[in-house]
């Protein structure tokens, strides 16, 4: 079965850093575009960053220069390094895997940025 498991969320002060990881199983990882999405209370889920099978990346304007997405095809994992965190980054962060077909979602991990 397909499984995506996020980890690394937590409470951090503004300006701090956090690294999220997504471990996958049950998919041919190397062919998938991997993405991180987030959803804050009362808001729609939004794309934070994605990385294609060839390594091309894209970021939401709100996180450019602060977040970095990376993948390790040998370990079937995708990470999101988050620096200079702001209260506006507070959300549940979800890992997503997709090809040209509808993808798969992890359960999410809570990130709270607060002093």
Whole-number pLDDT of residue 102: 86
CB 8 within 8 A of CB 18: yes
CA distances from 95 to 14, 35, 41, 66 (A): 23, 6, 18, 18
Quickly state the pLDDT bin for 101 (edges 50, 70, 90): confident
User: Span 69-86, mean pLDDT?
Assistant: 97
Average pLDDT estimate for 25-32: 94
Is the model's pLDDT at 74 over the cut of 90?
yes
Rounded-to-integer distance, Cα 91 and Cα 8, Å: 13
Q: Is the pLDDT of residue 53 over 90?
A: yes
pLDDT in tens, 29-39: 999 999 999 99
Mean pLDDT for the stretch of residues 67-71: 98
């Amino acid at each position: 079965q397909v499984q995506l498991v996020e980890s690394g969320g937590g409470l951090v002060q503004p300006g701090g850093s956090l690294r999220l990881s997504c471990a996958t199983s049950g998919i041919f990882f190397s062919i998938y575009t991997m993405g991180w999405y987030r959803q804050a209370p009362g808001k729609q889920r939004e794309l934070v960053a994605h990385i294609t099978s060839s390594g091309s990346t894209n970021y939401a304007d709100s996180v450019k220069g602060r977040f970095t997405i990376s993948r390790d095809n040998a370990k079937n994992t995708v990470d999101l390094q988050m620096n200079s965190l702001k209260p506006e980054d507070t959300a549940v962060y979800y890992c997503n895997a997709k090809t040209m077909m509808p993808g798969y979602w992890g359960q999410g991990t809570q990130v709270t940025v607060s002093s």
